[in-house]
Amino acid sequence: MNDSVTGRNKIILVQPSMGVAGEFVRHPPLSLLYVASGLVREGFDVRIIDLRASDGGAAEVVKALGDDVLWVGLTVMGGAPVSSALEVSRAVKAAGMYPVVWGGSLATIAPDTVLGNSAVDYAISGSGVSSAVRLSRALVANDTPTSDELDHVPGLYSRHEGRIVGRKPFRGFEPVPFREIPYHLIPDYGVYAHFGTARRVFPIYSAFGCPYRCAFCISPAMYKEYKPKWLPLPATEVVDHIEYLRDRFDAGLIYFYDDDSFVNPEHIRGVLDELKRRRIKIPMSFRGARVNEILRMDDEFLSALAESGTEILHVGLESGSPRILALYEKGVTVEDTIEANRRLAKNGKLIAAYNWIVGTPGETCEEMAATRRLLLRILDENPRAFVFQPNKFHPIPGTVMADVAARHGYRPPATLEAWSCEEQEGDKREPWYTPRIQRDIEMMQVTSYFIDHKAELLTTENSLYYIIVRLIIALYRPFARFRFKRGFAGLLFEYPLFRRVVMRHRKG
């Protein structure tokens, strides 16, 4: 142990609950494991509490507090996690003089708003691996460090004499060798799985960053000064990691968290070749795959993906409107998306999972209808495709589209409570919504769960519960597709039920 770590050497890292999304997908908190890696190496005693896998809520965090606790940290994104994180932070502050630190995407894009709440003492913008270590050293040396004593902590925002002081974030990626990831801090990996399956899911990185310039995405702003903007890991290291998780923790699905895995197809080809050389076949899913990248994949490459165990490619479709695609600076056309989907359908083994966005500033009802038509065509032409629920457009500070939204009357949330409403399942109405657009979005929020065959493609459990779920979905599907195809949002009795489900899973 580092000799400087005495007395208060315990750090509690908390994963807030996730709302409805946490009911369908639950992965080990990789971001917290990354932050913990440096702290463990420095000799700090780290405990991770995942509220998605516990019924204890804030009380569980408070129970873990003691005289040896140096600080409590939470990784927070907008939406329901904000409510959960606020509940925890307030409970921690009520229990004693424990510093509360927020990191994650919300602290990165809105650190001043985070520190505008008295329940939070510090916010770390950007990568937090080295920043967490430096902050910990400062707090060991002084319970209430001065601004000067914190100036060496990249991306740290803190309050001093009534004002918020921010520091430039770490410019670059902070890969953590998999052997240094403190997997032992998670007591039970059996709780991490996808809805309807029993396989243990493990997220990993094979590459960091993204070189593209999508106008709605934070990546262009975040990685603006990074050189390079995309950093792939060696194929042997990636496969070593996969093999380690399979052998040590009985991993049943490897989920690549890369912003984009396929910037250079040779990167993943190298991973596939190494898997084949070692005779490893394990289910895998890729979160980052662009339409233009799929168009560069030939039949041989797609077959190699499937043969290695790849099940799902997540694809950013975004919109069926040429104008909206141009506004987003996606660099692809509607015709490109149709062709990429046909290539995936021809493969016959890979599952294509499509993300899409609705409620863009200036988007018309006809443009949303074009997106619905494209999605239905995708599903009709590819039996192994499904769609996620729509991402309601939410401007991210620092992006090109945030400026567009501002011209349409948008104002960023001024409080954390307001940020808790910034989610895809939310009912927040933006200034540019007409009553019809609002009704159409509500209709799509509900029906998108049912218009495809995701239940059959993704669930493998055959308990009575899942049999009943699949039966209900099958019975409602024709009506859902009718609504979706025709844009029929009248008499939407399903939406109040949907809202009840959403609110039942919110904390705080």
Q: Is residue 468 part of a domain?
A: no
Q: Amino acid letter at 203?
A: P
Identify the pLDDT of residue 22. Answer: 67
Identify the pLDDT of residue 6. Answer: 55
Q: Is residue 277 part of a domain?
A: no
The 3-class SS string of 313-351 reads EEEEEECCCHHHHHHHCCCCCHHHHHHHHHHHHHHCCCE
User: Encoding tokens for residue 90?
Assistant: 């307030």
pLDDT per residue as tens digits for the range 101-153: 999 999 999 999 999 999 999 999 999 999 999 999 999 999 999 999 999 99
Lowest mean pLDDT among 124-138, 270-284, 305-319, 492-506: 492-506
Identify the pLDDT of residue 428. Answer: 86
Identify the pLDDT of residue 196. Answer: 87
The answer to whether the Cα torsion of 445, 451, 457, 461 is positive or negative is positive
Q: Is residue 14 part of a domain?
A: yes
Identify the pLDDT of residue 281. Answer: 96
**Which residue range(s) make up the domain with 78?**
10-166
* CB-count exposure of residue 431 (10 Å: 0-12, 13-18, 19+): exposed
Distance between CA atoms of 208 and 175, rounded to whole angstroms? 8
Region 364-377 average pLDDT: 98
Identify the pLDDT of residue 221. Answer: 81
More confident residue, 505 or 77: 77
Identify the pLDDT of residue 375. Answer: 98
Instruction: For the beta carbon of residue 256, count every other beta carbon within 10 angstroms.
Output: 22
Place of tokens 């019975």: 475
Identify the pLDDT of residue 505. Answer: 58
Q: Is residue 299 part of a domain?
A: no
Q: Is residue 74 part of a domain?
A: yes
Identify the pLDDT of residue 324. Answer: 98
pLDDT per residue as tens digits for the range 63-76: 999 999 999 999 99
Identify the pLDDT of residue 294. Answer: 98
Domain count across the chain: 1
Q: Is residue 410 part of a domain?
A: no
Identify the pLDDT of residue 42. Answer: 96
pLDDT per residue as tens digits for the range 460-481: 888 898 899 899 999 999 999 9
* CB-count exposure of residue 507 (10 Å: 0-12, 13-18, 19+): buried
pLDDT per residue as tens digits for the range 217-238: 988 888 888 889 999 999 999 9
Q: Is residue 271 part of a domain?
A: no
User: Encoding tokens for residue 218?
Assistant: 């934070």
State the pLDDT confidence band at 21, using cuts at 50, 70 and 90.
low
* CB-count exposure of residue 301 (10 Å: 0-12, 13-18, 19+): middle
State the pLDDT confidence band at 185, using cuts at 50, 70 and 90.
very high
Identify the pLDDT of residue 508. Answer: 46
State the pLDDT confidence band at 1, using cuts at 50, 70 and 90.
very low
Distance between CA atoms of 386 and 452, rounded to whole angstroms? 6
Judged against a pLDDT cut of 50, whether residue 344 lies above it is answered with yes
More confident residue, 171 or 315: 315
Identify the pLDDT of residue 107. Answer: 96
Region 478-505 average pLDDT: 88
Identify the pLDDT of residue 2. Answer: 46
Region 244-251 average pLDDT: 97
User: How high is the mean pLDDT of the chain?
Assistant: 94
User: Encoding tokens for residue 348?
Assistant: 């016959």
pLDDT per residue as tens digits for the range 379-438: 999 999 999 999 999 999 989 999 999 999 999 999 999 999 888 777 889 999 999 999
Instruction: For the beta carbon of residue 375, count every other beta carbon within 10 angstroms.
Output: 25
The model's pTM is: 0.94
Identify the pLDDT of residue 103. Answer: 97
CATH number of the domain within which 65 lies: 3.40.50.280
Judged against a pLDDT cut of 80, whether residue 507 lies above it is answered with no
pLDDT per residue as tens digits for the range 427-470: 889 999 999 999 999 999 999 999 999 999 998 888 898 899 89
State the pLDDT confidence band at 246, using cuts at 50, 70 and 90.
very high
Judged against a pLDDT cut of 50, whether residue 3 lies above it is answered with no
Q: Is residue 178 part of a domain?
A: no
Region 340-368 average pLDDT: 97
Identify the pLDDT of residue 266. Answer: 96
Judged against a pLDDT cut of 50, whether residue 338 lies above it is answered with yes
